[in-house]
Structure 1
Amino acid sequence: METETLRWFQLVADGVTVTEVSQIEGISQPAVSRALSRLELEVGTPLLRREGRVLRLTHAGAAFKQHVDAVLHHLDDGIAAVQQILDPERGTVTIAFQPSFGSWLVPDLVSSFHAEHPHVRLDLRTTADETVPDVGPRSDVDFELSTLRPPQGPDHPRWRVLAVEPLRLLVGPGHHLIGTDTVALTQVADEPFVMIKATSLLRRQSEQLCAEAQFEPNVAFVADDLPTLRGYVAAGLGVAIAPALWGGSMAAPVVGPHVLALTDRGATREVGFSWAPRRRMLPAAELFREHVLARARAGRLPRPV
């Protein structure tokens, strides 16, 4: 089967007329029709049926179309991969990241990388469930920025620590601890807490810190994201544990919460960079990995406030 014939079949199946295909491809309409007829002979059954002036898929054609789409998709990916090998400066890199990194780490890495490689496209995706890695041998994600350290082993994602981010206690206006340099979680053990949603690693770590302080937090409100968590604290609905880079940012959209340093052991989180070990990395992705690791080694990532 000829690739161009499969593409013509795909176009017609998607609603493009034979006349339009001939105009797009710059060939005669009869040539397109003959090619589609030869394709049906090769498959062994009609794939298209005419309804007035429009061609519709038969049941066999609909089944065949799914596989044609997959084949052409893989073929286009292969062509793109070759083009990336020939020109790594024009590839695409897919990066998943925890939402809390979207305000400081991701913008820094993207802007600094684009300054050196302006034609590489970065496909940025926020992680839906932080407790499950997005990178893997069968995933289309090249890299992940996460606080989830994967298990050790040849089949698990490779992991590099980029930064260690302090966790702070956020308290609302008028809270009795305002003005204190450092606090321990035991000092707010009896107070209502605002927690992030259960699919966040920050939720897991916050609960663990409270458990190590030998109390179970009274979760009064649950926030879907850090801006909402800050808003709840600013409204005096409870205290919260949050990363320092967000909790102390002057650019944070919500004013009101006060940021207090925690003395509790383990009140930090590792910011990591991971990738699948057995997935072939294209040159554009190699460029991004080297950029991120070099920036971390040089101490050029944003620092906690």
Structure 2
Amino acid sequence: MEIRELQWFAALAEHEHVTLVSERLNISQPTLSRAIRRLEHRVGVPLFDRHQNRLRLNKYGEVFRAHALRAIAEIEAAEQRIATLVDPDSGTVALGFLHSYGTWLVPELLAEYRAIAPHTTFELRGDAADTVVDDVRHGRLDLGLTSPRPAGDELEWTPLRDEPLCLLVPAGHRLAERRRVRTAELAEESFVALRPVFGLRQIADRLCTAAGFIPRVTLESTELSTLRSLVAAGLGVAIVPITGSPVDRRGPVVAVPLSDPGAMRTVGMVAPASGSRSPVVRRFHDYVCSTAHAPYA
């Protein structure tokens, strides 16, 4: 059964006149008649009642027409979706990213990309690093912006830029007036931190381990904005990206840059290492990777 035969049947079911339909479809009457007979042979019953030169759709034809119209509509929808995917300018990219990137990196990249590909659409999803990586690995996301570098050979990782880290302390804290601070100086502090599944928490834990201590985490959260509020309330200090945390010694929270050589998180693009990418995904991936090592906002 061919889709064109279903389309011919649908036209004949609407007009019930072989001559008229064959002219409109620009096919011969015998070709149209043979196509209808093949359909009837396949379903095992006549779909039309014949009256000389006229046809009338019967009860079997009514049932078949309802399903044929749905099948035609589904095929046309599939063709449109595939055409969109093939077009590198008007397709859709499913992009995952860390929550904190949603406040600066993602808007920055999309605004720049919109200038060269205004018809590309995005499905955006902010989440923890492990979740973003897992969704890319299993095809639920096309690409991900995350940190740190994920493990596994099945993923392709492209580092984009390094984002310095700082220490958030409440105003009046013993370190609030410092220009820089070393992680080793924080061994006695109480920390508020993201949950362990977040990439930033993993980096902060490694910094503390390298400095010779295990951080005493008293409160955990899932959002950087909550950490800032907890620090402002005097409930602990936090290691966070300096992006969005300007050094302002007049507010309730002060950001003090960390001086450790490894006090940064590397922003990277993660993608499946194998398998085909649609043109729209490949174009956006290549564009983002071309921005590698640009200074952070």
TM-score normalised by L of structure 1: 0.70
**2:211 matches 1:179:** no
Percent identity over the alignment is 32
Query: What do you get for the CA RMSD once the two structures are aligned?
Result: 3.6
Question: Per-residue displacement from partner, 1:199-241 (whole Å, max 9, x unpaired)?
Answer: 2111122122212222222212112200000111111111010
The match for 1:271 is: 267
Q: Compute the displacement of 1:295 (Å).
A: 2.6
The match for 1:60 is: none
The match for 1:81 is: 82
Q: Compute the displacement of 1:82 (Å).
A: 3.1
Segments of structure 2 that go 5 or more residues without pairing to the other structure are 17-55
The match for 2:115 is: 115
1:235 aligns with one of 230, 233, 239: 233
Go from structure 1 to structure 2 and tell me whether the alpha carbon gap of 1:95 and 1:27 turns closer, same or farther (over 3 Å shift).
farther
Go from structure 1 to structure 2 and tell me whether the alpha carbon gap of 1:211 and 1:33 turns closer, same or farther (over 3 Å shift).
farther
Go from structure 1 to structure 2 and tell me whether the alpha carbon gap of 1:185 and 1:287 turns closer, same or farther (over 3 Å shift).
same
Q: Compute the displacement of 1:274 (Å).
A: 1.6
Q: Compute the displacement of 1:294 (Å).
A: 2.2
The match for 2:60 is: 34
Report the Cα distance in structure 1 between the residues aligned to 2:109 and 2:180, rounded to whole angstroms: 32
Go from structure 1 to structure 2 and tell me whether the alpha carbon gap of 1:283 and 1:193 turns closer, same or farther (over 3 Å shift).
same
Q: Secondary structure at the match of 2:150?
A: coil
Letter paired with 2:271: W
Question: Per-residue displacement from partner, 1:166-223 (whole Å, max 9, x unpaired)?
Answer: 1111100110112211112232211211111222111122122212222222212112
Question: Per-residue displacement from partner, 1:20-65 (whole Å, max 9, x unpaired)?
Answer: xx9xx9899x96963574599xxxxxxxxxxxxxxxxxxxxxxxxx
**2:87 matches 1:93:** no
The match for 2:136 is: 135
Contact preservation (8 Å) 2:97, 2:129: no
The match for 2:51 is: none
Go from structure 1 to structure 2 and tell me whether the alpha carbon gap of 1:128 and 1:203 turns closer, same or farther (over 3 Å shift).
closer
Report the Cα distance in structure 2 between the residues aligned to 1:249 and 1:122, rounded to whole angstroms: 33
Go from structure 1 to structure 2 and tell me whether the alpha carbon gap of 1:261 and 1:302 turns closer, same or farther (over 3 Å shift).
closer
Report the Cα distance in structure 2 between the residues aligned to 1:124 and 1:295, rounded to whole angstroms: 20
Letter paired with 1:121: T
Contact preservation (8 Å) 1:127, 1:134: no
Contact preservation (8 Å) 1:98, 1:130: no
1:168 aligns with one of 153, 166, 169: 166
- Kindly name which structure, 1 or 2, has the bigger radius of gyration based on alpha carbons: 2
Report the Cα distance in structure 2 between the residues aligned to 1:117 and 1:151, rounded to whole angstroms: 32
**2:258 matches 1:262:** yes
Contact preservation (8 Å) 2:163, 2:296: no
Segments of structure 1 that go 5 or more residues without pairing to the other structure are 7-21, 41-67
Q: Compute the displacement of 1:276 (Å).
A: 1.0
Contact preservation (8 Å) 2:247, 2:254: no
Go from structure 1 to structure 2 and tell me whether the alpha carbon gap of 1:258 and 1:83 turns closer, same or farther (over 3 Å shift).
closer
| Aligned residue-pair number | 248
**2:296 matches 1:302:** yes
Report the Cα distance in structure 2 between the residues aligned to 1:109 and 1:211, rounded to whole angstroms: 34
Q: Secondary structure at the match of 2:166?
A: strand
The match for 2:102 is: 102
Q: Secondary structure at the match of 1:166?
A: strand
Question: Per-residue displacement from partner, 1:242-273 (whole Å, max 9, x unpaired)?
Answer: 011132288xxxx5211112123421111001
Go from structure 1 to structure 2 and tell me whether the alpha carbon gap of 1:75 and 1:215 turns closer, same or farther (over 3 Å shift).
farther
